[in-house]
Amino acid sequence: MLDFETLLVVVTAVTGGVWLWDRLGRRRQRRKGHKDPWYVDLPRSLFPVILVVLVIRSFIAEPFRIPSGSMIPTLLPGDFILVNKFAYGLRLPVAHAKFLEVGEPERGDVVVFRYPEDPSQDYIKRVVGLPGDEIRYEDKRLYVNGEVMAQDSLKDYRDDPTVSVREEDLDGFRHRILVHENAPGRDFEYQVPERSYFAMGDNRDRSSDSRFWGPVPEENLVGEAFLVWLSWDMDNGGLHWRRIGDIIR
């Protein structure tokens, strides 16, 4: 089955072919008052719109929906976000080959990437380890190159004393995480390979991330999440009006 990106490229190519054929070969007939059939007129009219959509989605920004709670409290299930597609370099659609270097992920970035074990799926996590970093997770605290990333307890999550919201300092980048006090610690040590990134969910005890399936290869990066443009309340229905327009940090 074609995914949306592949389908969009195919439709752009087909409508573009009809548009080009029409521009090069049918101008004279139109001057004589010849009426084009629908299968020429429709693709010719749609091509500019579809081309703009392809360019924006491939090289500027792409919308995604958050399906799970692995990034609570930063992102909630039902959030619709925008991802900066040029933050980590421009890539060809479908082939994903990078043709222009722009930047690299920094520690603390919230990134969308193709799941290493099934590239047809998109995942979103936070980068905590850069190439060459030594990562250790012990007693629900993160260590990078032997240095503990400080945490400050803020409050209970939804008045549940077993789930706490903490603010973590990733080398000067502060963000919030969720810790389930009674969940297993899942301690581990790992060195991040070159051209790879170690990613973890902010909902530390409810996230399938690099602790389970390994690092994110550089070629799997899709872009950096930067904005919540819509948020749907999955529990009560309706919109989370206060979340619309939130900058993702």
Domain ranges of the chain: 4-59, 61-137+187-243
pLDDT at 31: 56
Question: Catalytic site residue 125?
Answer: yes
Q: Which CATH class is domain 61-137+187-243?
A: mainly beta
So what's the pLDDT on residue 83?
98
The catalytically annotated residue of 32, 35, 68, 70 is: 70
Flag residues of the chain having pLDDT under 50: none
- Supply the pLDDT for residue 118: 96
Structure tokens at 169: 């300092």
Q: Residue 145's pLDDT is what?
A: 97
Cα separation, 88 vs 171, whole angstroms? 21
pLDDT at 1 (0 to 100): 58
**pLDDT 10s digits, 4-55:** 999 999 999 999 999 998 888 766 555 556 677 888 889 989 999 999 999 9
Which residues are registered as beta bridge partners of 137? 142, 188
Residue 89, SS3?
coil
pLDDT of residue 21: 86
pLDDT of residue 37: 81
pTM of the complete model? 0.92
Pick the catalytic residue from 58, 85, 125, 231. Answer: 125
Of 184, 214, 210, 212, nearest to 199 by C-alpha is 210
